[in-house]
Amino acid sequence: MAKVIFELPKMSENCKECVFHSGVMKTSITLNVSVRCPYCGLENIVPVDIDGRFIPKQIVTCDIDMGGCDRDFVIDPRIKVTADVYRIEGV
């Protein structure tokens, strides 16, 4: 199962228009997703481009440089949104 790691980039001079610091959503962002290889169990960090609502499946090669098995597997990324809940007092 894919677990999404959301990393907020550092603010730079060009950040006035970027999705993270302007509050305006741009058309596509890239998230680093941690996926576990189904063959050897190594966690691979995979950049996933999210463009609109559709996120395509993609083939990942288990990273042999990180001690993986160099085999290909398919990931099917999806986004899960959670929400915190608060009481409204005095209503």
Indicate whether 62 belongs to the interface with Zn ion (CB under 5 A).
yes
Indicate whether 35 belongs to the interface with Zn ion (CB under 5 A).
no
Indicate whether 69 belongs to the interface with Zn ion (CB under 5 A).
yes
Indicate whether 46 belongs to the interface with Zn ion (CB under 5 A).
no
Contact 33, 48 (CB under 8 A): yes
Identity of the residue, 22 or 34, whose beta carbon is nearer to Zn ion in the bound complex: 34
Please tell me the chain's helix, strand, coil percentages from 3-state DSSP, rounded to the nearest 5.
Answer: 5, 35, 60
Q: Quick one: DSSP state of residue 75?
A: E
> Who contacts 64 (Cβ-Cβ below 8 Å, separation ≥6)?
70
# chain residues binding Zn ion, by CB under 5 A: 7
Residues lying near Zn ion in the complex (CB under 5 A) = 37, 39-40, 42, 62, 68-69
